[in-house]
């Protein structure tokens, strides 16, 4: 057999092996979380806040973190949506295809997307110090919205790029302003994809810990005020795992299972939305 055929075979095996290792790792991660988390998971844990001595192994649960994560996730997703939807509509409908501004904004969205969330956290912290704000639900929400803004805007941009040009032309030919084209025609056409982008960003938001560490801090209370610290699931996992007590660590595994299940559910819903809710879509 010629050497080149041997080389072909060797690389084929290597490539399939690499793909297999990655797929197996994902399965391994999900499996580990499931097997470690499931035995420790119970309903009481999901519906109660930590009581005294929770981190020493006493009674309580992670409801504070679940509600906190949802609050901070919803808040920051709504904020990021309010900013990124107009932004990407502007890029795609108001600006010309070869616009330098559009090019620059897209480039900076890419760059912002790559900045680690701990840096956003530190930046949020400097702003908080400047305006005399304390770590709170509000500060965490604002910071997290900056973290997920580029994630949401970039995937929305991809969705809007797929909207056929003819549709925009048709809308303009009917006498619509660009505002009407953007919000009444294009948004409807791209609705499923936009929704999927929002959900993806939401999932990323509730999974993030580094940005809220400085800005939302942590508390054992349920979220009750915009101006008070709030707990989040990732940090709950982190703190529970950091204790030396096995029973608390096991609750950490259970919390990790809750978070992973939540994110999986969101990402599956996003996928499902991508295919459904196409009533207004013109094909």
Partner 1 sequence: MDVRKLRDSLARRSMFTLSVAVLSLSFLMALGLYQRSRPVLDRISLRELLFSTLWQPAQGHFGLGAFIAGTLWVTAIAMAIAIPLSLLTAIYLSEYAHRRTRDLAKPVVDLLAGISPVVYGVWGVVAVVPLVRDHLMPFFSARFPFFPFRSDNFTGYCALSGGIVLALMISPIIISVTDEVLRTVPQAIREASLSVGATRWQTVKHAVLRKARIGITAAVILGLSRAFGETMAVLMVCGCAMRVTPHSVFDAAYPLPALIANTYGEMMSIPLYDAAVLMAALVLFAVTTLFNMAGWGILLRFESGDM
Residues 198-227 touching partner 1, rule: CB under 8 A, are: 200, 203-204, 206-210, 213-214
Q: In angstroms, what is the minimal distance from the CB of 47 to partner 1?
A: 22
Question: What does DSSP assign to residue 175?
Answer: T
Does 79 engage in binding with partner 1 (CB under 8 A)? no
Over the window 36 to 75, marking each residue x when it contacts partner 1 by CB under 8 A and - when it does not, the resulting string is x---------------------------------------
Q: Which is nearer to partner 1, 4 or 279 (CB)?
A: 4
Q: Which of 256, 203, 238 is nearest to 29 (CA)?
A: 256
Q: In angstroms, what is the minimal distance from the CB of 221 to partner 1?
A: 18
CA pair distance 156, 62, nearest whole angstrom: 33
Which DSSP string corresponds to 176-233? --HHHIIIIIIHHHHHHHHHHHHHHHHHHHHH--HHHHHHT---SSPP--TTS----H
Q: In angstroms, what is the minimal distance from the CB of 210 to partner 1?
A: 4
- Both tokens of 148, joined, read 């997920």
Question: What does DSSP assign to residue 129?
Answer: H
Q: Which is nearer to partner 1, 42 or 177 (CB)?
A: 177
Q: Which of 158, 203, 164, 201 is nearest to 181 (CA)?
A: 164
Q: Which stretch binds partner 1 (CB under 8 A): 146-154, 164-172, 187-195, 275-283?
A: 146-154
Q: Which is nearer to partner 1, 94 or 277 (CB)?
A: 94
Sign, CA torsion 75/76/79/84: negative
Over the window 165 to 194, marking each residue x when it contacts partner 1 by CB under 8 A and - when it does not, the resulting string is ------------xxxx-x------------
- Both tokens of 20, joined, read 């297999």
């Amino acid at each position: 057999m010629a050497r080149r055929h041997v080389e072909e075979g060797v690389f084929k095996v290597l490539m399939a092996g690499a793909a297999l290792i990655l797929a197996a790792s994902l399965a391994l991660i999900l499996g580990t979380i499931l097997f470690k988390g499931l035995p420790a998971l119970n309903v009481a844990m999901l519906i109660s806040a930590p009581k005294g001595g929770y981190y020493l192994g006493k009674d309580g649960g992670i409801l504070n973190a679940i509600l906190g994560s949802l609050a901070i996730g919803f808040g920051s997703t709504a904020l990021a949506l309010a900013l990124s939807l107009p932004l990407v509509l502007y890029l795609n409908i108001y600006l010309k295809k070869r616009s330098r501004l559009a090019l620059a904004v897209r480039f900076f969205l890419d760059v912002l997307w790559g900045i680690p969330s701990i840096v956003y956290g530190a930046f949020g912290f400097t702003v908080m110090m400047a305006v005399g704000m304390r770590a709170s639900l509000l500060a965490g929400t604002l910071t997290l919205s900056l973290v997920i803004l580029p994630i949401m805007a970039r995937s929305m941009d991809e969705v809007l790029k797929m909207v056929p040009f003819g549709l925009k032309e048709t809308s303009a030919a009917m006498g619509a302003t660009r505002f009407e084209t953007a919000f009444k025609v294009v948004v409807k056409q791209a609705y499923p994809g936009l929704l999927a982008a929002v959900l993806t960003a939401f999932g990323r938001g509730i999974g993030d810990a580094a940005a809220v560490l400085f800005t939302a801090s942590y508390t054992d209370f349920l979220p009750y005020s915009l101006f008070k610290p709030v707990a989040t699931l990732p940090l709950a996992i982190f703190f529970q795992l950091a204790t030396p007590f096995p029973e608390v660590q096991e609750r950490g595994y259970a919390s990790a299972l809750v978070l992973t299940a939540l994110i999986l559910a969101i990402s599956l819903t996003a996928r499902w939305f991508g295919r459904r809710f196409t009533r207004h879509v013109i094909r």
